[in-house]
Amino acid sequence: MYLELTEEQKLIQETTREFAQAELAPVAAELDKGGSQETFYENLKKLAELGMMGLNIKDEYGGSEAGVIAFSVAMTEIARACASTAVTVSVNNMVNEVVQALGSEEQKKKYIPKICSGEFVAGAFALTEAGAGSDPAGMTTTAVRDGDHWVLNGTKMFITSGSCAGVFVVWAVTDPKAPKGKGISTFLVEAGTEGLVVGKKEEKMGQHASATNEILFQNCRIPADSLMGELNDGFRVAVTELAGGRIGIGSLALGVGLAAMDAATRYSLDRAQFGKKICEFEAIQWKIADMYTNLEASRLLLMNAAYKKEQGRHFAKEASMAKVFASESANKACYEAMQILGGYGYTAEYPIERYTRDARITTIYEGTSEIQRLIISREILREFS
């Protein structure tokens, strides 16, 4: 793999960085404290106009056709400014890719352009349930055929953008007699459909501006043509798309980790103790060296996974490696950044405490670190056998 970004990828990186620093960074702290949700939505609309909601989507559906590497670098730049915005953009891209991969031509033309253009503030990925988190095959939400409709019943949890999504990609059991994971199908459900209820907004540790909701399906009737892809083939699709989503979340984590270390490094150049700048102390220098080394390794792992996906090659192991390393490195970087700032790092006067809260979830959503290690070991053992 040639490690230099192409001119197009560099342009996307620079454009995203400039926008993020000019528009997202100045309002991130206020949004974290519960500031205007309208500002958050306006910034998402601007990102849509820049082509950020469909970076790996074909032009005919309103996408940018920039590819997976461009998606990764854009996610990193957005997350350096605002993790809440970044996770929304990541999920929007993920939803669009699922529809592009599985949807009928009619479904693609109906829904993808609305997310790419910003007509829909967001799309949502409704997979997780109370008893089906790391084990999505254990879901209990059902879809029963009734004439020209499907009737959905069940509850989904921790759904990003649940309160503002225009369309939901929903997984439900369609053959309860099938072996576990084999009788699951994928559906498109529009917001406002009778029987689709947006439940409580979760009170979270971080990423406050991004809504995370419970979604209930109460005899929710949807047209028969809402089925996406093959009947009873939804679990395989979910697993495949989650692998791609891990590149997005790993890139988000990298951005947050870089933001934390950048802030801490700048602080070390100004802060003086014992008669000299703290950056002159070996203890601080080693923290800076170790954390930036880990973050650079994260970037390379992410580029490798993105490159393989872009080439149409198997990338599940690489995506899991990138996600677990980047997310854990970002958490460590935030911890060390706070240590460099000392007591100031623990206060809301500086952004480190927000970065630390925002980074924490990255080792959990889109598959926990423990699940990533299971995937990596399984793939390696398969190669040996």
Residues in contact with 159: Cβ distance below 8 Å, sequence separation at least 6, in sequence order = 124, 125, 126, 128, 165, 168, 212, 213, 214, 215
Residue 356's pLDDT is what?
98
Which of 156, 162, 154 lies closest to 213, judged by CA?
162
Catalytic residue among 366, 370, 379, 383: 366
Looking at the structure of the chain, the number of domains it has is: 3
Tokens of 352: 């480190």
Looking at residue 305, its amino acid is A
Tokens of 129: 């349930």
Residue 240's pLDDT is what?
83
CA–chain centroid gap for 246, Å, is: 7
Q: Are residues 259 and 379 in the same domain?
A: yes
Residue 37 is assigned to a structural domain of this protein: yes
Summarize the confidence of residues 55-65 as an average pLDDT: 97
Radius of gyration of the chain (CA): 21
CB 329 within 8 A of CB 297: yes
Decide if pLDDT at 376 tops 90.
yes
User: Does residue 214 have an active-site annotation?
Assistant: no
Residue 110 is assigned to a structural domain of this protein: yes
Quote the CA–CA distance of 301 and 64 in Å, as a whole number. Answer: 24
Q: Of 234, 252, 287, which residue constitutes the final position of a domain?
A: 234
Summarize the confidence of residues 272-297 as an average pLDDT: 98
Residue 352 is assigned to a structural domain of this protein: yes
Q: Are residues 80 and 131 in the same domain?
A: no
DSSP state of 57: S
Higher per-residue confidence, 175 vs 241: 175
* 214-261 pLDDT per residue, tens: 999 999 999 999 999 999 999 888 888 889 999 999 999 999 999 999
Residue 310 is assigned to a structural domain of this protein: yes
Summarize the confidence of residues 7-33 as an average pLDDT: 98
Residue 116 is assigned to a structural domain of this protein: yes
Question: pLDDT averaged over the chain?
Answer: 97
Residue 242's pLDDT is what?
84
Q: Are residues 215 and 260 in the same domain?
A: no
Tokens of 193: 């459909």
Q: Is 155 helix (H, G, I), strand (E, B) or coil?
A: strand
Q: Are residues 290 and 179 in the same domain?
A: no
| Percent above pLDDT 70 for the chain | 99
Q: Are residues 96 and 114 in the same domain?
A: yes
Q: Of 213, 234, 255, which residue constitutes the final position of a domain?
A: 234
Quote the CA–CA distance of 303 and 247 in Å, as a whole number. Answer: 9
Residue 237's pLDDT is what?
83
Q: Are residues 157 and 227 in the same domain?
A: yes
Residue 182 is assigned to a structural domain of this protein: yes
Looking at residue 374, which CATH number applies to its domain?
1.20.140.10
Looking at residue 66, which CATH number applies to its domain?
1.10.540.10
Decide if pLDDT at 372 tops 80.
yes
* 301-356 pLDDT per residue, tens: 999 999 999 999 999 999 999 999 999 999 999 999 999 999 999 999 999 999 99
Tokens of 17: 């960085």
Q: Is 210 helix (H, G, I), strand (E, B) or coil?
A: coil
Decide if pLDDT at 52 tops 80.
yes
CB 24 within 8 A of CB 85: yes
Decide if pLDDT at 1 tops 80.
no
Residue 265 is assigned to a structural domain of this protein: yes
Which residue range forms the structural domain that includes residue 261? 242-384
Q: Of 234, 268, 292, which residue constitutes the final position of a domain?
A: 234
